[in-house]
Amino acid sequence: MARYLISRTLQILLTLFAFICIVYFIVNAQPGDISNVYAMNPELPPDARERLQSQFGLNEPLWKQFLVYVRNVFTGSFGVSFSFYPRTVADVIAERLPRTVALFFTATVFSFYLGFLLGKIIAWKRGGWTEYATTIGGVTLYTVFTPWFALMMIWLFAFKAGWFPIGKFLDPVLWRDAPIEANTLFGRMMLTALALSIIVFVVFVITTRLRIGGARLIQLGSIVVSIGIMLGAWRLTGHGHLAWDIVKHMVLPVFTLTLISFAGTMLLTRNSMLETMREDFVLAARAKGLPEKAVRDKHVARNALLPVVTSLVFSLAFAVDGGVIIESVFSWPGMGQTLVSAAVAEDLPLAVGAFVFVGIFVLLAHLAVDVIYVFLDPRIRY
Amino acid sequence: MSGYPLLAVEDLTMHYQTRAGEVCAVDGVSLSLERGQSLGLVGESGCGKSSLALALLRLQPENAQILRGKVLLDGVDLVSLSEEEMRTYRWNRIAMVFQSAMNALDPVYRVGDQIIEALEQHSNAARQDMVDRVGELYKLVNLSPNFIQRYPHEYSGGMKQRAIIAMALACEPDLIIADEPTTALDVIVQDHILREFGNIRKELNMSMLYISHDMAVIAEVSDVVAVMYAGKIVEYGTAEEVFNKPIHPYTRALMSAFPSVTGEKHELATLGGEPPNPLDLPSGCHFHPRCPFATDMCAEQEPPTVRRGDHWADCWNPPED
Ligand SMILES: Nc1ncnc2c1ncn2[C@@H]1O[C@H](COP(=O)(O)OP(=O)(O)O)[C@@H](O)[C@H]1O
Ligand code: SF4
Ligand SMILES: [Mg+2]
């Protein structure tokens, strides 16, 4: 396993380097640079434009610029952003990336869970109206024009019902005199979520491994207790209402993303279930006298899960391009928005940087899925 | 105990619903099997052996329907039980060794845990007792206890076969159904496992329904033989009677394909032709298009049952006794 991880890391670094080169040249192949933004400004004399270009090093030959960029990558700054001058690209991205990761990670977990659950159910009870309703509903949501659907969600739940805020990451009025930076707070929220999932995961692993009676109850109890402790701790910090504000802003985009993407997992799960149901070990499980629910969950669904997890990697690509749209509609200041605004502002370093970080994220997620797979399928050993 | 035989099947009939029409895979089958006895069910591929086996456990696929008949286990009719009650009979009273035993183990669980899963379902014993029981079973089928904690893909074909036999023995069932359990193995391994399995079964006084298309195998393992053709039992009797004095031409044809069984040469040519299309069965005796003794009568009317003691067969033109 250690050897595998090392070789995979090297592989990822090589892929990443190739990716950086390609992205760099493609982004630079488009006409214009930061000075174009001022080109329409009649007050800007031509020599000022040239000065601007030479200041950013844009009059150098492209290969020289590229070498400078590579150096910047290795020093970790990824260059200076033109539109956020003098902040570095790494700095801008460090602020934006966690928001996107939080949004999409949560939505991916929800949509995977929902899709798998529904897929399992419709595969088991075939031919009923539930199957038709769920399939048609899911496929409709899956293929719907995303910006329109996102706007409808905002209109319905934020504007009409008023349950959620209309877009954005936080409520500026609430945060005007806040004693803490939004990003610092958000970082702590993410740490809390991470701690919570680790605790729950450990409890689940321990209770299933040890086969203690009433495992379900212990699991449920541990979830409730740890959530309670976390909430209490947040209250004590005095920043609870601020954190709650961010959570409220997250709900609608996560819900929307979940709705438009769960059907992919659902249909895959359904097919995978139908395939697995034909296996002999399923017949054997029935012959052993197991109740239908145990046959479905312990044997069919457990094996049907494997190809569905593999597909998770591919759905990540969907998450990235859907991200630009969803973030724009919800004014969510994450990577998608950063990418769009960098492109509009001809902020080439930031655009390249944003692509590169999306690339890093996808590669790491891919690695994570590979590692998870080792735990899911005993036949896979590295 | 009761005066019932362990297993009595009466007029069992099962149909498959297919797009092309109805397939009558099990057609009025009647059988009986005493405790400790072994019944060999033989017939060409596609004649309905596996369908019959699944119907006994009520594990037939969704498109199948048991139309009529009874499956009496110790006098209790399994066909009329609720699904819930039926589950308590599966594996606990009737266990099965499947046709494709190679794939009957779930690849994501340790083999030992899969055996324990069956034990848990039918007893309230402490976990340690179940673990000990798995150890015993492994010893019984000659598997190294080191493999209890391994996954199926780490087993060889023969080992999987043994593990599956161990699993079938786990709850000490009254009846084990073995559906061509060894076809995926090479002949030597097959023979070896078969003998061991036969000995264990006799020691534990379990009954067995052994299914095969291979007369030689049936000869080796059965006390009683039933010959199946196109969904029907066409001949039934003790192994001695059926092999020494077969009545039905189909049985004789099957045996001539394996002359080693009786040692002597048969005048019959090996079985020609194809098994009939189940959607369009020949009239009268289903075997008549392939039968060297067929007469006009055979194509017109179903053959009568010829009885010689407990040994019987359905045929218009049985050989002289
Ligand atoms: N699920 C099914 N649906 C429709 N027909 C089936 C199904 N399973 C088996 N059959 C048909 O039933 C007949 C008996 O099959 P089977 O019981 O598997 O025979 P055997 O085990 O003797 O080879 C065959 O004609 C087969 O095509
Ligand atoms: S009834 Fe006729 S066709 Fe059928 S087996 Fe006997 S002789 Fe052959
Ligand atoms: Mg078969």
Edge-to-edge strands of the sheet including B21-33?
A: B21-33, B7-18, B64-73, B76-77
Chain A CB contacts of B111 under 8 Å are none
Confidence label for B64 from pLDDT (cuts 50, 70 and 90): very high
- A287 with B95: Cβ contact below 8 A: yes
Are B43 and B227 in contact by the 8 Å Cβ rule? The answer is: yes
Helix (H/G/I), strand (E/B), else coil: B30 = strand
Asked if B117 lies within 8 A of A290 by C-beta distance, the reply is: yes
What sections of A330-347 are H helices per DSSP?
A: 335-344
Radius of gyration of chain A (CA): 24
What separation in angstroms does the CA of A33 have from each of A30, A38, A49, A185, B281? 9, 10, 11, 36, 81
In 3D space, the residue among B59, B165, B57 whose CA is nearest the CA of residue B111 turns out to be B165
* pLDDT surpassing 50 at residue B263: no
Q: Which sign does the torsion angle of CA B90, B91, B95, B100 carry?
A: positive
Tell me: pLDDT of B264 over 60: no
Q: Is the minimum distance from the CB of B316 to ligand 1 under 6 angstroms?
A: no
The answer to whether residue B14 scores a pLDDT higher than 90 is yes
Q: Token pair for residue B213?
A: 């298309």
Residues A306-338 pLDDT 10s: 999 988 776 766 666 677 888 889 999 888 888
Distance separating alpha carbons of residues B313 and B250, to the nearest angstrom: 10
Measured between alpha carbons, how far is residue A321 from residues A144, A324, A356 in Å? 15, 6, 14
- How far apart, in whole angstroms, are the C-alpha atoms of residue A217 and residue A297? 18
B7-314, which class in CATH?
A: alpha beta
CA distance to A50, B18, B70, B149, per residue, from A282 (Å): 73, 22, 26, 21
Closest CA to A377 of A309, A284, A282, A293: A309
Q: Which of B100, B121, B127 sits opposite A288 (nearest CB)?
A: B121
CA B197 to chain A, closest CA, distance in angstroms equals 19
Q: Does the beta-carbon distance from A288 to B57 stay under 8 Å?
A: no
Q: pLDDT tens digits for B132-154? A: 999 999 999 999 999 999 999 99
Ligand at minimal distance from the CA of B296 is 2
pLDDT at position A36: 67
Q: Give the type of residue at A112.
A: F
Q: In chain B, what are the domain boundaries?
A: 7-314
From the CB of B285, is ligand 2 less than 6 Å away? yes
pLDDT, tens only, B206-238: 999 999 988 888 988 899 999 999 999 999 999
Q: Evaluate whether B151 touches B111 at the Cβ level (below 8 Å).
A: yes
- B267: pLDDT confidence band, cut at 50, 70 and 90? very low
The percent of residues in chain B predicted with pLDDT above 90, rounded, is 72
Would you state the pLDDT for residue B268? 44
Given pLDDT bands bounded at 50, 70 and 90, which one contains residue B287? very high
- Is a pLDDT exceeding 80 seen at residue B102? no
Short-list B250, B293, B286, CA closest to B27: B286
Reduced to 3 states (helix: H, G, I; strand: E, B; else coil), residue B22 is strand
Task: List the residue whose alpha carbon is closest to atom 3 of ligand 2.
Answer: B288
Interchain proximity A281–B96, CB inside 8 Å: no
For the residues A53-79, what does the mean pLDDT come to?
Answer: 82
Indicate if the pLDDT at residue A175 is higher than 50: yes
Residue A99 has pLDDT above 80, yes or no: yes
> How many angstroms separate the first and last alpha carbons of chain A?
5
ipTM of the complex: 0.90
The domain spans of chain A are: 180-238
Higher pLDDT, A17 or B1: A17
The DSSP-derived string for A173-219 is HHHTT-SS-HHHHHHHHHHHHHHHHHHHHHHHHHHHHHT-TTHHHHH
What is the rounded end-to-end Cα distance, in angstroms, of chain B? 37
Q: Using alpha carbons only, give the angle B179, B180, B186 rounded to the nearest 5 degrees.
A: 150
Looking at per-residue pLDDT, the higher value among A382 and A202 belongs to A202
Q: Cα B63 vs. chain centroid, distance in angstroms?
A: 21
Give the distance from residue A117's alpha carbon to the nearest chain B alpha carbon, in angstroms.
Answer: 20
- At B312 the pLDDT is 96
- pLDDT of residue B261 exceeding 70: no
The confidence band for B101, taking pLDDT boundaries of 50, 70 and 90, is low
Residue B265 banded pLDDT, cuts 50, 70, 90: very low
Distance from CA of B166 to the nearest CA of A (A): 13
Q: Which residue has the higher pLDDT, A212 or B281?
A: B281
Rounded-to-integer distance, Cα A331 and Cα A110, Å: 21
Nearest CA to B223 among B97, B36, B43? B36
Cα distances from A178 to residues A172, A187, A238, A247, B291, in angstroms, run 10, 16, 11, 16, 96
- Kindly tell me if the per-residue pLDDT of B259 is higher than 70: no
Of residues A38 and A168, the one with the higher pLDDT is: A168
Say which residue, A47 or B204, is predicted with more confidence.
Answer: B204
Q: Measured between alpha carbons, how far is B25 from B48 in angstroms, rounded to an integer?
A: 5
**C-beta neighbour count of A350 within 10 angstroms:** 27
What is the value of pTM for the model shown?
0.87
Nearest Cβ partner for B59 among A283, A291, A299: A283
